[in-house]
Every structure is written in structure tokens, then in C-alpha cells.
């Protein structure tokens, strides 16, 4: 029995996005090799204790974070239930607790400086769309010509992260950059940002990741930015400028308001600043 092929078939039946499909397979091949080469067993005979040994081995040998360990456990759980058709008891292999950190968000001035100083018009258009509309990198890469409406000044996002459509804001400034890119780069009528070779689908996400890192280095900035930094900056700067959280939630396509509340913590604005009660008690006035 080809367990790896069966696993891939089962995850494909869930109709997941391509990048999610890849992430679901990250460690299952290693797990199957461990079972065969180290335990000399069939997968159906592996005990929870042996699963824990594998997890500990993997974490120590590869230096995995607790968040990544949870992803490994999730893959083993999926394999056990959907390939081996065995029940799963999470009390024998609990997920790890891990520290959470606030992501880095560039200031409004830093976002302006970064985007305005990009020389490559294609990269500039993609980053401008991420920041101005709050798009995920995959959503930018998969944009099609017909998704951008000049008439309504909206961008139609099809099948985003939550497999649901939404409309995002279309910035006039970003549209001007996008228009310049479109005329200079072959006037693409399918995917707005196709691969270098025609008819091969949308551009890969690592193209933009690579260029963001390179431009950050050119500016002499410390390495802090990711593609998602610009989506976070969109939500944060909207909140700083007084936009209601419920509207931000809608624009960003969040399923839960809990995902949007993070921008309250990331915002830097005197409108939301508070004085310590101790300063009030002691008669100390705030600098603001």
C-alpha cells in the first residue's frame, strides 16, 4: 500500500488551495520514513508513545518551533483518521502552547518610502496593491484583469483564504501604478502578474518575497518586512485614521472580529492613547 499517495489523495479531496496542499505534506513523508526505517513497523501499528518519540526526535533534530510541532501533529492526525481510518485521541498527543508576538508593521511614512523607491514597476505594482487594498500575497499573485474594476474602484477577490469571495478597496494611487505596469509589461489580459513564460499561470509568491527582501536591503533597513507586513499595515493604518473595526474586518475578509482586533494593539495614535491611573493620581500630565 502506498500510504503517501493515499494521503495526498485524501487531502486533495478537501479541495484545498495549492499552498495549503503543500503545507499539509511537509512532514508526513518524514513520518512514514521514520516508521519504516527506525521503527520497522506498518503505520497502522504505531502507538501514541512512538508518535511522541517521533515528534521529540523531529523537534530536536530540526529545531522546530512549538507552532511547527503543532502542524506536524495535525498532519499525523489527518493521516491516522483519513488514511488509516482509525480513531484519534488527542489526549495522548496534545498540541503545544506557544508564545505569540505582535507582527512588525511599517509606519505610514515607511510604507510610502518603501513603495515609492521601488524601481521595478512590476514589483512596485504588486506591493502597492498589497498595502493599498490589504491583499494577501496569494491574492495579488492570482489577480486577473477582470477582477479590477475602474468603474466601482473595487477589486474582486475570488476564493480567498476562507474560500469566500469579497471586494477590496481599489486605491486611485495604486491604480495609477498598476496602469503604468500594464502598459509597460505586455498588457496582460488573463492573470495580471503571469509567470515569465506565457500561459503558465500566475507568478509564484517567492518572486515578490525575494524582491521585498532585496529592496529592504537596498534601503539599508533591518530585515523585518514580509509580504504580510503590508496587509497588516493596511489594517493598522486604517484604524489609525479612524476607520471602524467592523469595516476593516469586511475589507480584509476576516471571518472573525478577533482577527481584526490585533490592529488596535498595533496602532500608534494619540486618539487611542491612555494615561496611567497612577499619573492621574499623582497629578502628572501626559505629554500628549
Task: Evaluate whether residue 240 is within a structural domain.
Answer: yes
pLDDT at residue 77 tops 50: yes
Quote the pLDDT of residue 270. Answer: 43
Q: Based on the domain organization, do 112 and 203 belong to the same domain?
A: yes
The string of DSSP letters for the chain reads: --HHHHHHHHHHTTT--HHHHHHHTTTHHHHHHHIIIII---GGG--HHHHHHHHHHHHHHHT--HHHHHHHHHHHHHHHHHTS-----TTSSPPPP----PPP---HHHHHHHHHT---HHHHHHHHHHHHH---HHHHHT-BGGGEETTTTEEEE-S-TTS--EEEE--HHHHHHHHHHHHHTT--SSBSSB-SSTTS-BPPHHHHHHHHHHHHHHTT--S---HHHHHHHHHHHHHHTT--HHHHHHHHT-SSGGGTTHHHHH---GGG----HHHHHHTPPP--
Q: What is the pLDDT of residues 140-193, one digit of tens each?
A: 999 999 999 999 999 999 865 555 788 999 999 999 999 999 999 999 999 999
Of 43-47, 255-259, 275-279, the least confident: 275-279
Domain that holds residue 11: 3-82
Q: Based on the domain organization, do 14 and 132 belong to the same domain?
A: no
Give the rounded percent of residues in the chain with a pLDDT score beyond 70. Answer: 88
Task: Evaluate whether residue 208 is within a structural domain.
Answer: yes
pLDDT at residue 135 tops 90: yes
Cα separation values, 160 from 14, 28, 169, 186, 216, Å: 16, 26, 15, 27, 27
**Sorting pLDDT into bands at 50, 70 and 90, what band is 227?**
confident
At 247, phi and psi to the nearest 5?
A: -70, -40
Q: Based on the domain organization, do 141 and 67 belong to the same domain?
A: no
Q: What is the pLDDT of residues 186-226, one digit of tens each?
A: 999 999 999 876 557 889 888 999 999 999 999 999 999 98
Q: How many domains does the chain have?
A: 2
Residue 134 C-beta-side C-alpha neighbours within 13 Å: 25
Quote the pLDDT of residue 78. Answer: 93
Give the rounded percent of residues in the chain with a pLDDT score beyond 90. Answer: 54
- State mean pLDDT over 7-27: 78
Q: Based on the domain organization, do 114 and 66 belong to the same domain?
A: no
Task: Evaluate whether residue 141 is within a structural domain.
Answer: yes
pLDDT at residue 127 tops 80: yes
Which comes out higher in pLDDT, residue 93 or 265?
93
Q: Based on the domain organization, do 129 and 226 belong to the same domain?
A: yes
CATH code (residue 233): 1.10.443.10
**Sorting pLDDT into bands at 50, 70 and 90, what band is 117?**
very high
In the predicted model, what is the mean pLDDT of the chain? 87
pLDDT at residue 281 tops 80: no
CATH code (residue 74): 1.10.150
pLDDT at residue 20 tops 90: no
Task: Evaluate whether residue 91 is within a structural domain.
Answer: no
- State mean pLDDT over 224-251: 89
**Entry pTM:** 0.70
Task: Evaluate whether residue 277 is within a structural domain.
Answer: no
Amino acid at each position: 500500500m502506498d500510504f503517501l499517495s493515499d494521503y495526498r489523495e485524501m487531502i486533495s479531496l478537501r479541495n484545498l488551495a495549492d499552498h495549503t496542499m503543500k503545507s499539509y505534506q511537509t512532514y508526513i513523508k518524514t513520518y512514514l520514513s521514520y516508521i519504516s526505517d527506525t521503527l520497522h513497523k506498518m503505520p497502522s501499528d504505531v502507538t501514541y508513545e512512538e508518535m511522541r518519540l517521533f515528534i521529540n526526535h523531529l523537534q530536536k533534530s530540526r529545531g522546530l518551533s512549538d507552532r511547527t510541532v503543532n502542524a506536524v501533529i495535525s498532519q499525523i492526525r489527518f493521516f491516522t483518521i483519513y488514511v488509516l481510518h482509525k480513531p484519534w485521541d488527542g489526549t495522548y498527543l496534545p498540541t503545544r502552547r506557544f508564545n505569540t508576538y505582535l507582527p512588525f508593521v511599517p509606519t505610514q511614512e515607511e510604507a510610502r518610502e518603501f513603495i515609492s523607491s521601488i524601481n521595478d514597476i512590476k514589483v512596485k505594482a504588486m506591493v502597492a496593491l498589497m498595502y493599498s487594498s490589504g491583499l494577501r500575497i496569494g491574492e495579488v499573485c492570482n489577480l486577473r484583469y477582470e477582477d479590477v474594476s475602474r468603474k466601482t474602484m473595487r477589486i474582486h477577490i475570488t476564493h480567498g483564504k476562507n474560500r469566500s469571495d469579497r471586494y477590496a478597496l481599489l486605491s486611485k494611487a495604486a491604480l495609477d501604478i498598476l496602469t503604468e505596469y500594464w502598459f509597460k509589461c505586455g498588457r496582460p489580459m488573463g492573470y495580471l502578474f503571469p509567470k515569465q513564460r506565457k500561459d503558465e499561470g500566475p507568478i509564484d509568491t517567492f518572486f515578490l518575497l525575494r524582491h521585498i527582501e532585496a529592496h529592504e536591503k537596498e534601503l539599508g533597513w533591518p530585515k523585518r518586512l514580509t509580504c504580510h507586513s503590508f496587509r497588516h499595515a493596511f489594517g493598522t493604518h486604517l484604524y489609525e485614521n479612524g476607520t471602524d473595526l467592523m469595516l476593516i474586518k469586511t475589507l480584509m475578509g476576516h471571518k472573525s472580529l478577533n482577527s481584526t482586533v490585533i490592529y488596535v494593539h498595533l496602532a500608534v495614535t494619540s486618539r487611542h492613547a491612555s494615561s496611567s491611573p497612577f499619573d492621574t493620581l499623582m497629578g502628572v500630565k501626559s505629554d500628549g
